[in-house]
Amino acid sequence: MQKIKLTSCLLVLVLFAGSFFLGRFAAQVAPAISSAIHSDAEGNWGLSFQEEGKPPVADASCDELKKYGAYYMENTQEKVMYLTFDCGYENGNTPAILDALKKHKVKAAFFVVGNYLSTSPDLVKRMVEEGHIVGNHSYHHPDMSGMGKEEFAKELGELETLYEQTVGSPMAKYYRPPQGKYSNNSLQIAKDMGYQTIFWSLAYVDWNQDSQPTHEEAFDKLLKRAHPGAVVLLHNTSKTNGEILDELLTKWEEMGYTFKSLEELPTA
């Protein structure tokens, strides 16, 4: 009987010691995991939509980005939105998008690449004529997060030159990182070049040409994720976006939202 009691005591001691050391190990590993997540987040802009009608949890805060002249939303309770479109190429949807914006008197920002400027100069000119911002999405759309200053400046500079040759006026100093990839260094270089880096706080999977969302799927995402101060990212290549934008703007307006240009984004 005593032998059984002794064995039980030893077993309890072993389990206690194991739990103690496992706890210490977890406490030491947790900060390392947290650090790794932060490091990964720095390279790829991402959002976590957690509560309907509220801003998402982003990879960086407004304050962290602001020191680099970068923004992903306006920190406000006012029901205002900023519409932006990424333009990699033209496949027939942009005219309908521009028509809807004109109908609702909304000024948006179109982030273009070299290919778009070269192949669709008339549409770019229309954007400018109708009061929209045409921003810099780089010339070749590479991952610019690890570039040095010279290479980075070349990507933006080549697009600036082509834009001025095409439109006849300097390009607005708004930059959107290709593929959403960034680093503190790339944000600083963009700032040094006089650019404001514009991320986003409202988006959905609209870029896959082989799997376009239905109108219902698009409305479900874009209405539930709407929030005060949102910078909206849509792709001009989305057939769904071209088809629903007029109705989408109406629905957002019915929810009480108004729309501003990036020029009105508070930067102080």
* Tens-digit pLDDT profile for residues 147-187: 999 999 999 999 999 999 999 999 999 999 999 999 999 99
Question: Residues of 14-43 as b/e, b for ≥16 C-beta within 10 angstroms?
Answer: eeeeeeeeeeeeeeeeeeeeeeeeeeeebb
Distance CA(245)–CA(93), nearest Å, equals 11
Q: Which residues pair with 233 in a beta bridge?
A: 84
Q: Is the pLDDT of residue 92 over 90?
A: yes
Alpha carbon 4 to its chain centroid, in Å, reads 64
Place of tokens 């333009």: 87
Which residue has tokens 């708004």?
A: 174
What per-residue confidence (pLDDT) applies to 172? 98
Q: What confidence score (pLDDT) does residue 1 get?
A: 46
**Closest C-alpha to 189, from 146, 152, 142:** 152
Give 268's pLDDT tier (boundaries 50, 70, 90): low
pLDDT for residue 225 is more than 70: yes
Given a cut of 80, whether residue 218 has pLDDT beyond it is yes
pLDDT at 17 over 70: no
Q: What is the mean predicted confidence (pLDDT) over 178-202?
A: 97
pLDDT greater than 60 at residue 192: yes
What pLDDT is recorded for position 101?
98
In this predicted structure, what is the pLDDT of residue 3? 42
Q: Quick check: 93 pLDDT over 50?
A: yes
What number is the average pLDDT over the span 232-259? 98
Give residue 161's pLDDT. Answer: 98
Which pLDDT score, from 0 to 100, does residue 174 have? 98
- Check residue 42 and give its pLDDT: 62
SS3 readout for the chain: CHHHHHHHHHHHHHHHHHHHHHHHHHHHHHHHHHHHHHHHHHHECCEECCCCCCCCEECCCHHHHHCCCEECECCCCCCEEEEEEEECCCCCCHHHHHHHHHHHCCCCEEEECHHHHHHCHHHHHHHHHCCCEEEECCCCCCCCCCCCHHHHHHHHHHHHHHHHHHHCCCCCCEECCHHHECCHHHHHHHHHCCCEEECCCECCCCCCCCCCCCHHHHHHHHHHCCCCCEEEEEECCCHHHHHHHHHHHHHHHHCCCEEECHHHCCCC
Catalytic positions:
86, 235
Does the pLDDT at position 2 exceed 90? no
Q: Give pLDDT, residue 11.
A: 42
> How far is 57 from 50, CA to CA, in rounded Å?
7
Taking only the tens place, the pLDDT of each residue in 18-28 is 443 333 333 33
For residues 249-259, give the mean pLDDT.
Answer: 98
Q: Residue range 200-223: average pLDDT?
A: 96
| Gap between the Cα atoms of 259 and 268, Å rounded | 20
Tell me phi and psi for residue 174, to 5 degrees. -125, 130
Rounded to an integer, the average pLDDT of 192-206 is 97
The pLDDT of residue 231 is 98
Mean pLDDT of 94-102: 98
**Average pLDDT over the chain, rounded to whole?**
88
Q: Is the per-residue pLDDT at 38 higher than 50?
A: no
Cα 85 to Cα 67: distance, rounded to the nearest angstrom: 24
